[in-house]
A and B are shown apart, each in its own frame.
Chain A
Amino acid sequence: MKRATAVVAALLLGGAALLGLWRSTTPSAPLSLQARVEQVSAGLRCPTCAGESVAVSQAASARAARAEVQDQLEAGRSASQVRAWFAERYGVWVLLDPPARGAGLPLNVLPVVAVVGGGALLLAPRRHRSRAAVALCVAAAGVLGLASVATTSPADRTRAGAAVPVVAAAASASAPSSNAPGADAARTAVALEDAGRLTEAAQAYRSALEAAPGDPTLSVRLGFDLLRSGDADGAAAAVRPVLQRAPDLAQAVLVLGLAQRATGDPAATPTLQRFLALAPQDPAAATVQELLLR
């Protein structure tokens, strides 16, 4: 009897705690502009100071950068777009939390390898321990190898990558509709992409596409996401089925063109020209025009 009371009390208390935690994840009010400026600035390195962020520094250049962040956020650009804008000008060096790809990959993966691998090493039965240690070293080496491959890949890829955030701004206008199948996964994906977690976003888009196969908006967004993370082939593959059914969908043509350009496919120029012909008023059109001029 006493035991049953204890179990019920524990369940109730645990349930209340979980409910409280869940409630705390939804913000009570959208962040003020000032708070968002602060947040974005805290992630940007002050260009003229010694290792301070734009949010903290008193330097004039930091003040100018803060004003730039504020203007862009006021104009409706997202936090990740503002970050991309700075990275385009100053290089990735300006971001205080480097994106988890290329040279920034080990930074984000190695801590996980350390704690998971270390735990596995401790829990592994003694006679397998040396094998576990080898596995740990292999995993760490794998991460490092992947990173160095990614950083030394052709310059084309990074160049296309830099152009994509600009064009991606155009895509964000058409967010996935809310009551379509897979809408939750799609919203998650958009949020992830916004947070710069591109790989996870791609996965979320893919699962959303499972619920709504061939959805043009989702496919295009997946394409942009893959372009940003440097996977041009994947991006082309993502929009091809859409283009078979709707060959004149301008955004899909744009993704295909950028993907072809990134892989050095000579078909890139005609594809991008077709995009310009289809959507001359698109916000991305000017950038594409510049890409073609080069």
Chain B
Amino acid sequence: MTALLGSTALAAGMVAALLATGAWTATARGRAPALARRATWLMLAGALVACGALEVALLTHDFSVRYVAENGGRDVPLLFTVTGLWSALEGSLLLWLLVLCGYAVLLARRVPEQARHLHPVAMAVVSAVAAAFFALALLAGNAFSRVWPVPADGPGPNPLLQDHPAMGIHPPLLYVGFLGLLVPFAYATAALVTGDTGPAWLAASRRWTLVAWSALTAGIVLGSWWAYAVLGWGGYWAWDPVENASLLPWLTATALLHSALISTRRPALRLWSLSLAGATFVLVLVGTFLTRSGVLASVHSFTQSPLGPALLAIAVGVLAGFTGLLVWRADRLGAQVPVGPPVSRGAAVVANNLLLVSLAFTVLLGTVYPLLAEAVSGARLSVGAPYFNRSAPPFALALVLLMAVGPLAATDGERPSALLRRMALPGAVALAVVAVLGLGGARGPTAILACGLGAFVVASVVVQVTGHLRTAQRDRTAGRLRTAAGVLHRRRRLYGGLLAHVGIALAAVAVAASSSWSVTAEGTLRVGDTVAAGDASARLVSLDRQGSSAGMSTRAVLETSRGRLAPELRFFPKRAVLVSSPAIASSARGDLYLTLVEAAEDGRSARVRLTVSPLVPWLWVAGAVIALGGLVAAWPSRRRTGRTPTPLVAATSPAAVSAAVPAAGSPQDRPDLVAAP
């Protein structure tokens, strides 16, 4: 019954999506949007009913549905029964559709004042993409196919996914991020279709991009937290294809957010920004294909299914279509304006884009290289963490350097000496950090540079913000606190960006410290024995085995310098999976990470691995700070309506801007760039 309902809902959703595509196209030609809106709502209803039906089937243990038979189980805790919806391929496709249709309805409700003419075209693009995915869910990977005979019980979700509450929100957040990036793509397509390649499409999609970017950031960091806390190898980023697939669109979306800052002013970057919006969504699709089709072996990858070719067809179709549009509109993309003065914020953004895109290229190359090499020459190669760990840091360090220098530079160019003077104090802090760490005996130039550059970013942000506040206090008309709050609120776009920069600097330091300065020791311990790593040690107190219906587990209790910890080794017979659950003691200085590698048959000794990883918890904090920065920058203006676009404000140096804050406003503050409902 639920299965029939689900399949029907998917079919209805597909019809609605096709209808919506047609209706929005008609709206673009002047029809009233009423029908199109209704069809869009219907799409959402279809996705909601389909997800609901599968949830009901999971919760009622309806094992006649193949998906439930393969991923549900009677003794699975409620939380993981609910998250079972996205713990395997077909179900996660339904969640994907739900998020996609949710975006479609929200987007349909918000017609941006200055991009009215783009809106219906963008909606048609979103609806067409939704139609493609409805078709995929219905025809290639239907979660509601039946199984006969009906089994009495299922194996439950993959035990690795049952282990951590982060699993509850990590995939939905990732999907909110991935599919939010459909919005800039849709508006970019609309800009190309209508021929209005000016800044309107960027303005209309800016906040959507920021929200999606924040969600994607949070999703990526939660994913690495999950890997760290569940997989038990002591790391949080393995450069696995699934991780890379989420990083790639994040990198190009970051580039897009930055190029959007200046491409309103520089027509030379119009083509570039449009390409970035296109590339970002194509990377979302390619990443989904790579990780969901089984072409790349990965810990996370789902098994092979007919979805592969269908996903590839969607990705290739979108790529080819967008390329065609770009070439078709080449004459309107205005490549006549030079990039700009070499010492300016614009130049920093251009350099940032070059680095981000080159880094994305490198990560993509490494990820798909085994496929490419085999296609071209038949050679079988593997590309893994050592390659990325070697290739990525130079890009990352250069980007952090730009984060420190770029925001200090004047918007429209200045003499280098002026920039140098503003850089003096933060630069001195950075050099001092490098000198102290290096002479203090820390090892690894990359890690030390990362710490120095991180300090550079933070100091440069502090210098800027205090500068703004001081100027505002000098000219204040209200109370001290109110003035400060006013500045912070008014310039939230700039400060959101700077907050994200601080978060990334923090992440750079945490990654550098934990990867370069962690100490590991492994030993076979009898009860009473001790293993020591760095200044930490762990003594085996007891070792006990337990058997339950869900499986066998061996628990080692160890007395450490930070209290008792109990790593476990668990065997899930239903899936024949052995999971080594680590025990972690966190503090601001870093983590003590204990895993049980092996337990002897006689239960007397165990092989234990002890890792001391400095600063790891700061990585999770950094993720929250970065995402928060994106949300601050996206926070809507209180004045929502009725403002006609002001002409672009002439650029001034940050110093001049801060001197004239209440009057002039910088490009970051332009209220006309805020999408009005």
Contacts and interface: CB of A to CB of B under 8 A. Distances in A.
A6 to B, nearest CB: 7
Contacts of B444: 24
B448 interface: yes
B473 interface: no
Interface SS of B by simple majority: helix
Contacts of A23: 438-439, 441
Interface in B403-435: 424, 428, 431-432, 434-435
Interface string A83-117: 00000000111111110001110111011001100
A96 B431 contact: no
Contacts of A97: 383-384, 386-387, 390
A17 B438 contact: yes
Contact of A24 (B233, B377, B379, B445): B445
Contacts of B547: none
Nearest to A107: B369
B612 interface: no
Interface of A: 6, 9-10, 13-14, 16-17, 19-25, 27-28, 34-35, 38, 42-43, 45, 49-53, 55-56, 58, 91-98, 102-104, 106-108, 110-111, 114-115, 118-119, 122, 126, 144, 147-148, 151-152
Nearest to B440: A20
Contact of B438 (A22, A28, A53, A98): A22
Nearest to A102: B379
Interface in B202-243: 231-233, 235, 238, 240-241
B296 A122 contact: no
B626 to A, nearest CB: 24
A119 B437 CA distance: 32
B366 interface: yes
B415 to A, nearest CB: 16
A43 B580 contact: no
Sorted from nearest, which 5 A-B pairs have the closest CB atoms?
A20-B438, A96-B384, A16-B435, A97-B386, A103-B379
Contact of A91 (B355, B380, B438): B380
A27 to B, nearest CB: 6
Interface stretch (B49-57, B142-150, B297-305): B297-305
A52 B580 contact: no
Interface residues of B, number: 65
A21 B379 contact: no
A51 B296 contact: yes
Contacts of B500: none
A148 B382 contact: no
Given A55-B233, A148-B376, 10 more contacts: A16-B431, A21-B445, A24-B443, A24-B448, A45-B384, A51-B296, A58-B580, A97-B386, A115-B355, A118-B357
Given A53-B384, A96-B385, A151-B379, A111 B436 contact: no
B354 A56 contact: no
Nearest to A6: B424
Contacts of A110: 361, 365
Contacts of A108: 391
B387 A98 contact: yes
Nearest to A27: B443
B452 interface: yes
Given A16-B431, A20-B436, A93-B380, A53 B385 contact: yes
A256 B80 CA distance: 66
B339 interface: yes
A159 B281 CA distance: 44
Contacts of B578: 58
A94 B381 CA distance: 8
Nearest to B294: A50
Contacts of B442: 24
B521 interface: yes
A49 B384 CA distance: 13
A13 B382 contact: no
Nearest to A98: B381
A148 B372 CA distance: 12
B369 A148 contact: no
Contacts of A10: 424, 428
A42 B70 CA distance: 33
Contact of B297 (A50, A92, A144): A50
Contact of A98 (B299, B382, B424, B597): B382
A42 B296 contact: no
B161 interface: no
Given A20-B448, A114-B358, A51 B438 contact: no
Interface in B520-557: 520-522
Given A53-B384, A103-B373, A111-B391, A20 B439 contact: yes
Interface of B: 231-233, 235, 238, 240-241, 296-299, 301, 338-339, 350, 354-355, 357-358, 361-362, 365-366, 369, 373, 376-377, 379-387, 390-391, 395, 424, 428, 431-432, 434-445, 447-449, 452, 520-522, 578, 580, 597
A114 B362 contact: yes
Contacts of A53: 238, 384-385
Nearest to A14: B431
A35 B415 CA distance: 49
A37 B447 CA distance: 22
A93 B385 CA distance: 14
Contact of B240 (A51, A103, A122, A152): A51
B434 A21 contact: yes
A66 to B, nearest CB: 10
A103 B381 contact: yes
A122 B350 contact: yes
A13 B522 contact: no
A96 B386 contact: yes
Nearest to A149: B377
Nearest to B362: A111
Given A50-B298, A51-B297, A111-B361, A95 B580 contact: no
Contacts of A152: 377
A96 B379 contact: no
A164 to B, nearest CB: 19
A260 to B, nearest CB: 26
Contacts of A34: 520-522
Contacts of B381: 92-93, 98, 103-104, 107
A114 B362 CA distance: 9
Nearest to A20: B438
Contact of A45 (B298, B350, B382, B522): B382
Contacts of B355: 115
A95 B382 contact: yes
A20 B350 contact: no
Nearest to B443: A24
A93 B379 CA distance: 9
B298 A16 contact: no
Contacts of B238: 52-53, 56
A287 B350 CA distance: 56
Contacts of B580: 58
Which of B241, B298, B381, B448 is the most central at the interface, judged by chain A CB atoms within 10 Å of its CB?
B381
Contacts of B448: 20-21, 24
B567 to A, nearest CB: 13
A289 B189 CA distance: 67
A34 B241 CA distance: 28
B339 A122 contact: yes
A104 B381 CA distance: 8
Contacts of A16: 431-432, 435, 439
Given A50-B297, A96-B382, A107-B383, A115 B358 contact: yes
Given A98-B383, A122-B339, A19 B390 contact: no
Contacts of B233: 55-56
Nearest to B446: A24
A154 B578 CA distance: 45
A103 B377 contact: yes
A118 B351 CA distance: 10
A51 B298 contact: yes
Nearest to A25: B445
B533 to A, nearest CB: 10
Contacts of B232: 58
B190 to A, nearest CB: 28
